[in-house]
Amino acid sequence: MNKTPYCTRLIILVFVIFSVFTIFPPISHINFAHAADKYFLRGQKLFKKCIHCHTYKAAQTHRIGPNLYGMFGRKAGKVVDFYFSEAWKNANFIWTEKTLDNYLLDPHKMIPNNRMPFDGLSRASDRKALIIYLKKIVQP
């Protein structure tokens, strides 16, 4: 009864599926992707404030500040080969999103007398963006 060739039916099917996805894109998915991109791009921009003092790839040499590669999950003030100031001697915490958020808010309040000449990022959304970006670039 159905005389339409198999290949024509296949083409029609592909066309129909394609049209449905074009007309009704999975909206929620697109919004999430967009939000993540927005934070990532903002974080990338903010990291320019850190880049003259910090490298972030494996085995890169330290600059004025320590290389940040692999920092999440590591103890604060314990990068091998980097001479931290006395201020970090008693720092007894692990770098997590939470501790880094606290540090970036006001580095000198969290670690008084530390040598990092940076006043902090007062906007929570900026800190979130920078942390999202850092988590992508410094992890092994």
**Interacting residue ranges for ligand HEC, rule: CB under 6 A:** 49-50, 53-54, 64-66, 68, 71, 76-77, 79, 84-85, 87-88, 114-118
CB 49 within 8 A of CB 127: no
Closest distance of CB 14 from ligand HEC, Å = 48
How far is the C-alpha of 75 from the C-alpha of 47, rounded, in Å? 21
For residue 66, the number of C-alpha atoms closer than 13 Å in the C-beta half-sphere is 19
Q: How many residues does the chain have?
A: 140
CB nearer to ligand HEC: pick between 36 and 103: 103
Closest distance of CB 36 from ligand HEC, Å = 19
Closest distance of CB 13 from ligand HEC, Å = 51
CB nearer to ligand HEC: pick between 16 and 94: 94
Q: How far apart are the first and last CA of the chain?
A: 60
CB nearer to ligand HEC: pick between 4 and 93: 93
Q: What type of residue is 62?
A: H
CB nearer to ligand HEC: pick between 87 and 132: 87
Closest distance of CB 87 from ligand HEC, Å = 5
Ordered alpha helix ranges (H), 24-123: 27-46, 97-105, 107-110
